[in-house]
Amino acid sequence: MAAELPEQARILAEWGLPRAGLLILMSPCENRCFFCAQPAVTHPPEADWTPWARVERLLRANHDLGLDLLCIGGTEPLTHPSFARALDLARTAGFSSVQLMTSGLRLAQPDEAKRWKTAGITHVAVPIYSAEAAVHDAVCGTPCHSRLLEGLDRAQEVGLQISLHTLALNRTLEELPALAALCQDRWRSTIALAPPRPKDGVWDFAAEAPSLAAVAAAIDGIPHDRLSLMGWPVCLDADRPRGGALVMSLYFQGQDRVQPDVCTGCAARSHCPGLVTALHDRDGAGQLQPQAT
pLDDT in tens, 53-111: 999 999 999 999 999 999 999 999 999 999 999 999 999 999 999 999 999 999 999 99
**Percentage of residues of the chain with pLDDT beyond 70:** 99
Give the torsion through C-alpha atoms of 97, 103, 104, 108, to 10 deg.
Answer: -140
Summarize pLDDT for 118-148 with one digit per residue, the tens. 999 999 999 999 999 999 999 999 999 999 9
Q: What band does 293 get if pLDDT is binned at 50, 70 and 90?
A: low
d(CA 30, CA 42): 7
- Mark 47-79 as b/e (b = at least 16 C-beta within 10 Å): eebbeeebbeebbebbeeeebebbbbbbbbbbb
Q: 63 phi and psi, to 5 degrees?
A: -60, -35
Residue 181: Cβ within 10 Å count? 16
Contact between 242 and 230 (Cβ < 8 Å): yes
**Helices 145-157/176-187 angle, 10° precision:** 30
**Helices (H), ranges, 77-204:** 83-92, 112-118, 133-140, 145-157, 176-187
The pLDDT value given to residue 255: 86
Whose CA is closest to 51, among 18, 90, 85, 17? 85
Question: Could you give the CA distance from residue 74 to residue 246 in angstroms, rounded to a whole number?
Answer: 14
| Predicted local confidence at residue 196, as pLDDT | 94
Are 227 and 180 contacting, i.e. CB atoms less than 8 angstroms apart? yes
Of 286 and 279, the one with more pLDDT: 279
Question: Residue 250 above 90 pLDDT?
Answer: no
Confidence tier at 278 by pLDDT (50, 70, 90): very high
pLDDT digits (tens, 9 = 90+) for 7-60: 998 988 888 889 999 999 999 999 999 999 999 899 999 999 999 999 999 999
From residue 262, alpha-carbon distances to 232, 256, 266, 293 in Å are 16, 18, 8, 14
Q: What is the pLDDT of residue 82?
A: 96
Q: How many CB atoms lie within 10 A of CB 152?
A: 24
Q: What is the mean pLDDT of the chain?
A: 94
pLDDT of residue 253: 78
Question: Which phi and psi angles does 2 have, rounded to 5°?
Answer: -90, 0
Nearest to 4 by CA among 67, 59, 53, 52: 59
Show the domains of the chain with their CATH numbers.
5-255 (3.20.20.70)
- In the structure, what pLDDT confidence band is assigned to residue 188 with cuts at 50, 70 and 90? very high
Model pLDDT, residue 254: 77
Asked if residue 284 has pLDDT above 70, the reply is yes
% of the chain surpassing 90 pLDDT: 84
Summarised one tens digit per residue, pLDDT across range 221-232 is 999 999 999 999
* Alpha carbons 146 and 137: distance in angstroms, whole number: 9
For the chain, how long is the longest CA-to-CA vector?
55
